[in-house]
Structure 1
């Protein structure tokens, strides 16, 4: 496309927006009110006058008024209203008669085009119909900047749409990038746009210059970037609106806001925050359990000791995914520990200059058993009744087992001893015939109280698991009663099978495949896939999608980006069939074969590929709406019918392992 053609397309697009806007300004109503008994008012308010006029140049006023054809209200203005560029002191908005009064609270930059963007904050007084997309534009110079850019904001990991995101434009000449990018933290954008709820944005009133473009999800509403709180995105190159391809703009009558074909894609990610490392506190939640909390993950502990307690008797576990909380379990019964534990913690703490320095904290933690528990123990002792075994374990599963998931055990306390050789796993044959089966029992590397029992399972075979008393011993001095269970290995014929013939970008390229539900939950994940044929069994019957991660560093997981280091997040792509659909229908005993070309999935991002994705998402949205309406209609019919009953279920399998 030539420069002339690009300018023509942009001129048409620009006048399309202005024509739509001016239609709202010039329209009039003969009667403001609705006759009693008439139809409900569904029309938004209409602008009848702006003072100073829309598009004023050499602007020097401090007050702007916008008059409507009816009384209006302001709704969610803190969330909806913003200025381009941002102002340190946000203008104040007040209702005045049938209009809005806007007072500017700071001096304006010279030769700058400004826009006041109201979003959906202006609604009519009676029915709350919003005037979507109301803008007021003026310039402190002698002309209005008038170029446009469009784009699309998505989540880099899930590929889902991210709406209501600020698009920030910085002058590439003024805001050059040093070794580390601190643009969002130190500089002010010279133009701002915002994406609609469906992720599309149309940034207006841009200059014909090179921009560095960022996207910011302002979760705290302070118009400032906070790593670890706000998702962010950036484009690797600079972009001049004058040199971008032309695009179509139209009004979406369903969503009731403008839409456009996107020129760029902003892949939003959550950057890892930098936090000062500081000890924030401790608590003793049980007699033999202490929790230490810090402001940053992975505290560097130089010494941690308690009076009268052998350090080898302390089991350490991180209590959350952020790894800023340490759980200490003492290998001793609660009643054998003193009411007050005294200890010393030496760790590396950030000082005011962000330098790590040793810091010492003296610990003093008290604990007493709850009064009710002491009374119960005293009563049981007086009655001379045998106490139930307090040892607890939760076992995932039932009467059938998916062999790829194995058997997962979760304990209340960390284990200090496991006699796995005493466990017995038998494969049951005809009659009384049994065959011993070897098993492994491994601890999770992150969750120390989680263990997995695995074995060479055979489909459609029945097994018996016996765990004798005393096999498990925990830090509270407790041990298990005898646990036994019988279960059957599920047949792959009750599931679907996916065969992926992968053609990688290179023979060494690695990928992670995820089979996900239509709602986005991960049903199966397999890492380190390269060029070749790969079979995925035990796929749930129904509708699934296949998501791929371009695993550039080969660590078997998706890695987020870094704004400071200007490192983009690893790319994620969906398998799409020839009908531009992501959804795959699976049935029992079906084997589905897919040829997957990674050069296609992870090819260049173009307007065509973005438009195709937007169309897929829109079709899925409309399909979900139609399904919901059908379900609501069916439920309304059922409301006229009565009946039903209650049934009794049975318990068994691994989920309720019997101890005798």
Structure 2
């Protein structure tokens, strides 16, 4: 008997297959990929609990799989999995928890594609620890290139100038995944990408948010002397900036007052990209709302934890809206929130990398622990809300 949970999401999936494998001489770690279990049950569409009955005494391996392929196997590229580390010895009165997670997929590389006159994309799945891409073809000395990861995508962009020759043969290596392969990209007559700048916000911005200017091509320079911020009283607003060449964006950080308007002026050549292109004059207009339009939430965290915590405020779909990283347990404030219903998620950051890490069946590694505040939190306009959240390490 036992229950099924989801390692990251608040609620587990439906129709989870509970699989029990007898630990005989034929069983090894690869068995769950290769053959159906000795016993199987399913949570169906309304239960998170399971029961396996009429079982033969002996030693077993217990796993749970979201069996997308309906083949009673674990397919790593599409299924979630949960497992109990210890051997299950039957008969037993123990109740087991199977915590489902999606593994990082085995590394693979897609055929690279020329998508514009100055950009080749290399799509991949799995780990990105040490992907190296080198041209094997002899290229002209005049050809310049830059390899940049696409922001929040499993894609590497190979930018180049001037236009490429007839074809280029690339070698792709990922030493951490013991992978090496070669690919050929053929030239085509295509229009090259040119500099386009887009704002992160259109007209309205929260006082807790930062304004960003996002480029479609690699940025190499942002000249703050050519940018200024003016408030509604025509007074200059001081700011600092951060150029992120990996995400191709510039963040402008400045204090924003409620019920205020701001104009951001970007003069010519404030931004320069890898190809030497620069911008024309741009104006962005922003406004903030009244404090009465928003609500504030304070979370009084109680308990002890030797592990740093990532406190995330999410919507009902589990999408992260705000987050704060805590080295120690203390109250957390989320201010100027839009009236809505929120959830609070706590990630126990065991490896101190500031994000949630999944598990691995073959490595016998469980995912990092996640804890949710038990109820949804409704925030209303012009409210000061305080909630107590007990953290148990």
Shift in Å at residue 414 of structure 1? 1.9
- The whole-number CA distance in structure 1 between the counterparts of 2:6 and 2:73 is 20
SS in 2 for 1:189: coil
- The whole-number CA distance in structure 2 between the counterparts of 1:476 and 1:444 is 14
- After superposition, give the CA deviation of every residue in 1:396-423 in whole Å (9 maximum; x if it has no partner): 2233311332112222222243222211
Q: Which of 343, 351, 366 in structure 2 is aligned with 1:568?
A: 366
- After superposition, give the CA deviation of every residue in 1:244-264 in whole Å (9 maximum; x if it has no partner): 26xxxxxxxxxxxxxxxxx43
Determine the structure 1 residue equivalent to 2:293. Answer: 494
Determine the structure 2 residue equivalent to 1:190. Answer: 38
Q: Which of 90, 106, 121 in structure 2 is aligned with 1:291?
A: 121
- After superposition, give the CA deviation of every residue in 1:616-653 in whole Å (9 maximum; x if it has no partner): xxxxxxxxxxxxxxxxxxxxxxxxxxxxxxxxxxxxxx
Determine the structure 1 residue equivalent to 2:139. Answer: 307
User: What do you get for the CA RMSD once the two structures are aligned?
Assistant: 3.1
Q: Which of 72, 78, 102 in structure 2 is aligned with 1:223?
A: 72
TM-score if structure 2 supplies the norm length?
0.85
Determine the structure 1 residue equivalent to 2:280. Answer: 481
Specify which structure has the higher proportion of strand: 2
Shift in Å at residue 302 of structure 1? 6.3
- The whole-number CA distance in structure 1 between the counterparts of 2:4 and 2:317 is 19
Q: Which of 128, 150, 173 in structure 2 is aligned with 1:348?
A: 173
- The whole-number CA distance in structure 2 between the counterparts of 1:345 and 1:564 is 32
Q: Quick one: structure 1 residues 415 and 302, their matched pair in 2 at CA, closer, same or farther if it must change by over 3 Å?
A: closer
8 Å Cα contact 1:515-1:545 kept in structure 2: yes
- The whole-number CA distance in structure 2 between the counterparts of 1:589 and 1:239 is 54
Q: Quick one: structure 1 residues 187 and 222, their matched pair in 2 at CA, closer, same or farther if it must change by over 3 Å?
A: closer
- After superposition, give the CA deviation of every residue in 1:110-168 in whole Å (9 maximum; x if it has no partner): xxxxxxxxxxxxxxxxxxxxxxxxxxxxxxxxxxxxxxx3x332321013122212111
The number of residue pairs the alignment matches comes to: 388
Shift in Å at residue 494 of structure 1? 2.4
- The whole-number CA distance in structure 2 between the counterparts of 1:204 and 1:522 is 41
Q: Quick one: structure 1 residues 523 and 395, their matched pair in 2 at CA, closer, same or farther if it must change by over 3 Å?
A: same
Shift in Å at residue 439 of structure 1? 2.5
Runs (4+) off by over 6 Å: none
> Counterparts of 1:89-100 in structure 2 under 5 Å?
none
Q: Quick one: structure 1 residues 310 and 344, their matched pair in 2 at CA, closer, same or farther if it must change by over 3 Å?
A: farther
Q: Which of 90, 104, 116 in structure 2 is aligned with 1:272?
A: 104
Determine the structure 2 residue equivalent to 1:383. Answer: none
Q: Which of 407, 410, 426 in structure 1 is aligned with 2:230?
A: 426
8 Å Cα contact 1:284-1:290 kept in structure 2: yes
| Match status 1:598 vs 2:367 | no
| Match status 1:515 vs 2:313 | yes
SS in 2 for 1:153: strand
Q: Quick one: structure 1 residues 395 and 316, their matched pair in 2 at CA, closer, same or farther if it must change by over 3 Å?
A: same
Q: Quick one: structure 1 residues 597 and 228, their matched pair in 2 at CA, closer, same or farther if it must change by over 3 Å?
A: same
SS in 2 for 1:573: strand
- After superposition, give the CA deviation of every residue in 1:448-475 in whole Å (9 maximum; x if it has no partner): x333222233334432211012212334
Determine the structure 1 residue equivalent to 2:376. Answer: 583
Q: Quick one: structure 1 residues 493 and 315, their matched pair in 2 at CA, closer, same or farther if it must change by over 3 Å?
A: farther
Determine the structure 2 residue equivalent to 1:437. Answer: 238
8 Å Cα contact 1:427-1:437 kept in structure 2: no
Query: Does 1 or 2 have the higher relative contact order (CA < 8 Å, sep 6+)?
Result: 2
Q: Which of 178, 181, 187 in structure 2 is aligned with 1:366?
A: 187
Specify which structure has the higher proportion of helix: 1
8 Å Cα contact 2:241-2:250 kept in structure 1: no
| Match status 1:337 vs 2:337 | no
8 Å Cα contact 1:218-1:224 kept in structure 2: yes
TM-score if structure 1 supplies the norm length?
0.53
Determine the structure 2 residue equivalent to 1:235. Answer: 84
Asked which structure has the greater CA Rg, the reply is 1
- After superposition, give the CA deviation of every residue in 1:424-450 in whole Å (9 maximum; x if it has no partner): 113343xx5x134122142164x3x33
- The whole-number CA distance in structure 1 between the counterparts of 2:138 and 2:209 is 40
- After superposition, give the CA deviation of every residue in 1:497-521 in whole Å (9 maximum; x if it has no partner): 1212223433x33211222223333
- The whole-number CA distance in structure 2 between the counterparts of 1:220 and 1:271 is 16
Q: Which of 344, 349, 354 in structure 2 is aligned with 1:546?
A: 344
